Amino acid sequence: MWLFGFYLVIIGLIFLITLLRAAENVPNSIRTAVDFIFLWFGVAGFLFSLTLPKTLMDIQRDRVNAEIERRRREENIPPDT
């Protein structure tokens, strides 16, 4: 859930940076601050996404195991011990 929120914030910051670069009367300090915020959220989003493959693999493994157990119950095969 955090990762999705970070992605939404990053998309919003990209839009804001595009608007700020097009505007001529925006001080450089504001542009720099938005760039730093964008950089922070980008790095944090990247670090959060490093755990995504393991999380997805765990979810898929649980689904496969549940399906195997369901089919065993249907065929009256005793569960593995």
Instruction: Report the alpha-carbon distance of residue 81 to residue 39 in Å, rounded.
Output: 50
Residues contacting 20, CB < 8 A, separation 6+: 26, 30, 31, 34
- What confidence tens digit (pLDDT) does each residue in 12-55 have? 999 999 998 888 888 989 989 999 999 999 999 899 899 999 99
pTM of the predicted model as reported, rounded to 2 decimal places: 0.67
Is the distance from CB of 62 to CB of 44 less than 8 angstroms?
Answer: no
Query: Domain-by-domain residue ranges, the chain?
Result: 1-44, 51-81
Q: Residue 76: which region, alpha, beta or left (left: phi > 0; alpha: psi -120 to 50)?
A: left
